[in-house]
Amino acid sequence: MIREDTGSVDLVKQKTARLSVISNTLLVAMKLAVGCAIGSVSIISEAIHSGIDLVASGIAFLSVKKASEPADACHRFGHGKFEDFSGFIEAILIFVAALMIIREAAGTLIAGGGGLAMEALGFGMAVMLLSAGVNWYVSSRLMRVAKETGSIALESDAWHLRTDVYSSLAMFAGLVAIRLTGLVVLDAVFALGVAVMIMKAACDLTGRAFSDLTDHALPLEEEERIRRIICDHSSDIVDFHALRTRRAGSERFIDLHLVVSQDDSLQMAFDLVKHIEADIRCAFPGANVTIRVEPCARQCSACSSFCQTGEQEAGRRHRI
């Protein structure tokens, strides 16, 4: 787990994104060279796929670097949205790659198969296995860092490479089938299969990135965890309401209204807010927490009960 300060976390994210750029550059060159040498539209389509992945990796690297910049006069809440925008652009790029592959494969099918060099299929199979191995390693590393830092840019890049792993294995199976059957038309058929696979991944990534761009609330389980943390202080507060959450890149934004007894001093309320903020940040490292304190408006002889606002708000959330 990554436990260092914010600067160290940002450095780890940038180094991991840079690794993706380097690996994709090498794979594009290798796939393109072998695909052109043996005349395989499926391998060339894989080179196109990796080329789009290279562009996406470059965007991910730049967005992670930009998102690490501190808040400024124009971006008071930081630059986390650059990661969300990067994930959305990367998903669009996958769609573009799929359309390019479909165009190439359809042309080959119409032509009746194409001029595939059967004697060189072994090189193509070796390249596909090597590509699958490299991308599995890099995507696993990207995914691990993405989960530890909450980076959607790295997660999107990881899914790009993971689809490349599956498509490379599919291409390997296709080349084996061609060698066994002699049906060169299978080359284009498997290329179309790759296009379908990566279009599905693009749909999933688009939904995730668009959700964060439109300030969608945090997952229900995370909001429930926040409510439980607040309820742990039930002996010190009267109520809480107006809980709102959203995400920007790897940053979580949480704000709520906290109702305290009219008898509490300003210092007591301040200390309570700092305690709750610390507990929330312990559960969600780096969270931006804003708590507004309100005095209780009820006229009670004694304040000895805590309103179950957490359950009330959860019920309202489920009905929306």
Under a CB-based contact definition with an 8 Å cutoff, are residues 239 and 306 in contact? yes
Query: Contact 258/238 with Cβ under 8 angstroms?
Result: no
Closest by CA position to 155, among listed 16, 253, 313 = 16
Please check whether residue 223 is in contact with residue 217, taking contact to mean a CB–CB distance below 8 angstroms: yes
pTM comes to: 0.58
Give the mean pLDDT of 90-104.
75
- In this prediction, residue 305 has a pLDDT band, given cuts at 50, 70 and 90, of very low
Centroid of chain to Cα 94: 14
What's the pLDDT score for residue 119? 61
Question: Which comes out higher in pLDDT, residue 112 or 52?
Answer: 52
Which residue ranges make up each domain of the chain?
Answer: 6-213, 220-319
Averaging pLDDT over each range in 66-70, 222-226, 245-249, which range is the top one? 222-226
User: Per-residue pLDDT averaged across 155-178, rounded?
Assistant: 78
Query: Rounded CA gap, 58 and 39, in Å?
Result: 29
For 112: left if phi > 0, alpha if psi spans -120 to 50, otherwise beta; the answer is: left
Instruction: Please report, for the chain, how many H helices and E strands are present, in that order.
Output: 9, 3
For residue 42, the model assigns a pLDDT of 66
CATH label, 6-213, candidates 1.25.50.10, 1.20.1510.10, 3.40.630.10, 1.10.8.50: 1.20.1510.10
d(CA 149, CA 170): 32
- Res. 178: pLDDT tops 70: yes
Cβ contacts of residue 105 below 8 Å, gap of 6+? 41, 42, 45, 188, 189, 191, 192, 195
Of 176, 178, 198, the C-alpha closest to 186 is 178
Q: pLDDT tier at 120 (50, 70, 90 boundaries)?
A: low
- The pLDDT of residue 224: 93
Lowest mean pLDDT among 57-71, 133-147, 156-170, 292-306: 292-306
Residue in this structure with the two tokens 């999107």, named with its chain if needed: 156
Of 16 and 77, more confident: 16
| Residue 177: pLDDT band with limits 50, 70, 90 | confident
- pLDDT 10s digits, 58-87: 887 887 777 777 777 776 666 667 777 777
Of 21-35, 186-200, 220-234, 278-292, give the lowest mean pLDDT range: 186-200
Query: E strands, the chain, where?
Result: 239-248, 251-260, 288-295
Higher-scoring residue by pLDDT: 301, 106: 106
DSSP state of 298: -
Q: Residue 308 carries which DSSP code?
A: -
Percent of the chain with pLDDT over 70: 81
Contact (Cβ atoms closer than 8 angstroms) between residue 175 and residue 124: yes
Pick the CATH number of 220-319 from 3.30.70.1350, 3.40.30.10, 3.10.20.30, 3.40.50.1980: 3.30.70.1350
Q: What is the mean pLDDT of residues 293-318?
A: 57
Instruction: Tell me the CA distances in angstroms from 68 to 6, 65, 231, 248, 250, one per residue in order.
Output: 8, 5, 33, 12, 10
Rounded distance between C-alpha atoms, residue 172 and residue 42, angstroms: 10
Sorting pLDDT into bands at 50, 70 and 90, what band is 317?
Answer: very low
- Please tell me whether residue 100 adopts helix, strand or coil conformation: helix
Token representation of residue 196 = 């379908």
Bridge-partner residues for 295, per DSSP? 260
